[in-house]
Structure 1
Amino acid sequence: MDSPLSKSAALVLHLCAQSWSTARQTLTASIRGGLTAEELYSDGCAAIRWAMHRRRTYTGADDPYSSVVTSAWVRRARSVDKGQPWDEARRARLAMQEKVPDGLYEWFIAR
């Protein structure tokens, strides 16, 4: 059976799973090394579609995560495209505030 993703799309997923900064550094180096923006976009789209499909398979159709994240990234892309600064530290603080504390899930399951 063929892989659902190309090797380069799988690499994009792998890099993004490591961290956004690792993904950015490696993909920037790849572009400098000859990868075209079109190839990166195509591989990135394939990786995102696969990840969203996989999440939907496990969580069900009512999971709002994909649409919420997509909307947030569209807003971010528009801001960056307009030359507006992006406060990565603020975003990291917000993400930490939204994080579910370690052990909380297990606590609810044990009840």
Structure 2
Amino acid sequence: MSQISQNNSNSHDRDLKKIVDALSKITSLSSETIKPHLNELLSRLSQEQSFKAAGHFFDTTTDDEWITAFHEWSESHREKKLPVLNEEAMSRESFYDEW
């Protein structure tokens, strides 16, 4: 590990300790209880950053990839056994109240 990388790591460790200590004080929870939650939050934030850097799904996929993903998504709902709406429920007239 380079000296710069090691210094950044030490700095982050100190910052994280301060955050854990502050959260512990605010919530009256132990550091051991807070650390997993903080680690999960940091993981989610870094994943979100990775997704943003990778570009939006719709901007980076072909039409065929989008269609495949849509079909996979719709098929994933079959196992939920959701009720199917009848024709009357799907009609335009049923969407609006009669005045």
In the superposition, the TM-score normalised over structure 1's length comes to 0.32
Q: Greater RCO between the two (CA within 8 Å, min separation 6)?
A: 1
TM-score, reference length from structure 2: 0.34
Larger Rg: 2
